[in-house]
């Protein structure tokens, strides 16, 4: 079953590459699409893209490791992006990170054992008046101060799984 799902993803990726390969500098956009499909960019996916584009795999690897937007590690179903821009930092981002680490038992950049959450840090997300801010996927949370508030948000997301 898993293999079938993987095969289907590779077929979709093949179609994406073939649609985009004649664009000027298609690699970054193709990698974004690949990451959307697979959730991350393991070496097998990078090799596949390199073969389809007929370019060296080192070139693909170079781009994947250069841009923060790309990851070679699997991410959780929900990525929690904690803003560590200046306003949020001053208003308690380190404490939010600390509490999330304790609640989810992960360090920054890691994914929970059940694969549901990944905690990462991002720069200013443009909602400084709500500092400290974090985002779960597209949803923004601001002025969260207590562990209880955080726990409620986490458990709401857990219930959606």
Length of the chain as a residue count: 161
The nearest distance, CB 135 to ligand FES, in angstroms, is: 9
Question: Does an H or E element contain 149, and which?
Answer: helix 147-160
**Of 31-70, which residues contact ligand FES (CB under 6 A)?**
none
How far is Cα 95 from Cα 114, in angstroms, rounded to an integer?
A: 24
How far is Cα 34 from Cα 4, in angstroms, rounded to an integer?
A: 17
By CB under 6 A, tell whether 90 contacts ligand FES: no
Using CB under 6 A, which of 50, 63, 116, 128 touches ligand FES? 128
How far is Cα 41 from Cα 146, in angstroms, rounded to an integer?
A: 35
Structure tokens at 109: 């950049």
Compare residues 72 and 128 and give the one whose CB is closer to ligand FES.
Answer: 128
Using CB under 6 A, which of 9, 53, 103, 125 touches ligand FES? 125
The nearest distance, CB 89 to ligand FES, in angstroms, is: 7
- Give the binding range for ligand FES (CB under 6 A) out of 25-33, 55-63, 79-87, 111-119: 79-87
Cis check for the bond before 144: say yes or no (omega within 30 of 0). Answer: no
Tell me how many residues contact ligand FES (CB under 6 A): 12
Using CB under 6 A, which of 53, 72, 103, 127 touches ligand FES? 127
Nearest to 85 by CA among 77, 69, 96, 74: 96
Compare residues 28 and 108 and give the one whose CB is closer to ligand FES.
Answer: 108
């Amino acid at each position: 079953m898993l293999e079938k799902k993987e095969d289907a993803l590779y077929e979709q990726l093949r179609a994406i590459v073939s649609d985009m390969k004649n664009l000027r500098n298609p690699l970054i956009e193709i990698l974004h699409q690949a990451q959307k499909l697979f959730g991350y960019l393991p070496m097998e996916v990078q090799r596949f893209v390199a073969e389809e584009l007929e370019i060296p795999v080192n070139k693909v690897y170079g781009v994947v490791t250069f841009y923060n937007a790309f990851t070679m590690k699997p991410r959780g179903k929900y990525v929690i992006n904690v803003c560590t821009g200046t306003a949020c930092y001053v208003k308690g981002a380190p404490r939010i990170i600390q509490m999330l680490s304790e609640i989810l038992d992960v360090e920054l950049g890691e994914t929970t054992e059940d694969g549901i959450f990944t905690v990462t840090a991002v720069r200013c997300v443009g909602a400084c008046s709500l500092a400290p801010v974090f985002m779960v996927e597209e949803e923004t949370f601001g002025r969260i101060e207590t562990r209880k508030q955080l726990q409620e948000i986490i458990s709401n997301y857990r219930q959606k799984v």
